[in-house]
Amino acid sequence: MRRLNRKKTLNLMKELDAFPKVPESYVETTVSGGTVSLIAFTTIAFLTVMEFTVYRDTWMKYEYEVDKDFTSKLRINIDITVAMRCQYVGADVLDLAETMVASADGLIYEPVIFDLSPQQKEWQRMLQLIQSRLQEEHSLQDVIFKSAFKSASTALPPREDNSLQSPDACRIHGHLYVNKVAGNFHITVGKAIPHPRGHAHLAALVSHESYNFSHRIDHLSFGELIPGIINPLDGTEKIASDHNQMFQYFITIVPTKLHTYKISAETHQFSVTERERVINHAAGSHGVSGIFMKYDISSLMVTVTEEHMPFWQFLVRLCGIIGGIFSTTGILHGFGRFVAEVIFCRFRLGSYKSTSVPLPDGHTSNHLPLSTDNSTH
């Protein structure tokens, strides 16, 4: 009884076979079929390798939402070199929300030489080249995001030459925390002094001829400091053409959450517009000489996530490639054989020309003879 049930089950499974087998004696192999098969297998192998490359790659997904965090502090990372002595310049932040000077105690004033060494000039040249490429090809920013914490540091390398020249510039570097509202970070003549109605800089003791706001921005970023991330103003260098010159940078900051397979951090991207002009009160160009960075924070927050193709999707695409190539090449091969047979049949029919056969009554027949055998009976 068990054997009978087993036999019925096997017969049922045979009837459900969707892949019927054809005996090898009925299969005809041709040169054209072998050629098409070779092309199909080569194409499948090539597309499989390409698909595996796509599967290994990752891409960045951007999502936008309203930033509801107004209570946390915004960190500003600064590394700027000004072509003036440290005792002549002062840096601070004016918070527009509270209309008061934010503390800038986290900044360090370091006397340095403004001219770069050969190695540092090469670093700056490469950084400026990367910046120009980023402006032309925005997709490179995804590569920078994915390579964060893996690439070398973007900080200015230390000076390798032992120059005996006395320091003629001031490097202002460090970080400070401000409220997440619009503000103005500026570097101008004189140290900042507290004032009940605002703020002021003690510039009366500085000679006007010593004003020189030529500067180099080695690094400027907002939020968490992430090695490997290149910001829009990194490597910027401006040379003042006049003592009374104002450099303005209008910055729009976008809060960003970065989630990759290497890091997970909260940082800020920003865009910047530059402007510079000479202060000349007689010509109607009013203002204060210095470097002014006016920043505003966007109400939108961007979440950047590194994504990877799921393995099941890779298998589906791979099956589609294999099945599609086999089906397409089979159809093309069948169509090609059909066209070839039609052409060859017409060629063969055209080779048989009509001939005249004499009849006993003196007439002729233009029909083809029934037999081409020359034997006599």
Helical axes 311-351 vs 31-56, angle rounded to 10°? 160
Both 95 and 234 in a single domain?
Answer: yes
Helix (H) or strand (E) segment spanning residue 171:
strand 169-179
Q: Residue 214 has what pLDDT?
A: 92
> What is the rounded average pLDDT for all residues in the chain?
78
Both 72 and 169 in a single domain?
Answer: yes
Q: What is the residue-wise DSSP string for 277-344? A: EE-BGGGTB-S-SEEEEEEEE-SEEEEEEEEE--HHHHHHHHHHHHHHHHHHHHHHHHHHHHHHHHHH
Both 192 and 169 in a single domain?
Answer: yes
Both 197 and 321 in a single domain?
Answer: no
* Structure-token pair, residue 55: 């599967």
Q: Residue 94 has what pLDDT?
A: 82
pLDDT digits (tens, 9 = 90+) for 307-350: 888 888 889 998 998 888 888 888 887 888 778 777 877 666 66
Q: Of 238, 263, 298, which one is at a domain's C-terminal end?
A: 298
Q: Is residue 342 part of a domain?
A: no
Q: Is residue 373 part of a domain?
A: no
Q: Residue 291 has what pLDDT?
A: 92
In the predicted structure, residue 372 carries a pLDDT above the cut 50 = no
Both 199 and 88 in a single domain?
Answer: yes
Helix (H) or strand (E) segment spanning residue 358:
strand 357-358
Q: Is residue 367 part of a domain?
A: no
- Domain carrying residue 83: 68-298
Both 52 and 95 in a single domain?
Answer: no
Q: Is residue 347 part of a domain?
A: no
Both 41 and 116 in a single domain?
Answer: no
- CA 88 centroid distance within chain: 42
pLDDT digits (tens, 9 = 90+) for 83-138: 998 888 888 888 776 555 555 567 889 999 888 888 888 888 888 888 887 777 66
Q: Is residue 334 part of a domain?
A: no
Spell out the alpha helix ranges (H) of 116-273: 118-136, 140-146
- Check: pTM over 0.75? Answer yes or no: no
Query: In total, how many domains does the chain have?
Result: 2
Residue showing tokens 């050969």? 118
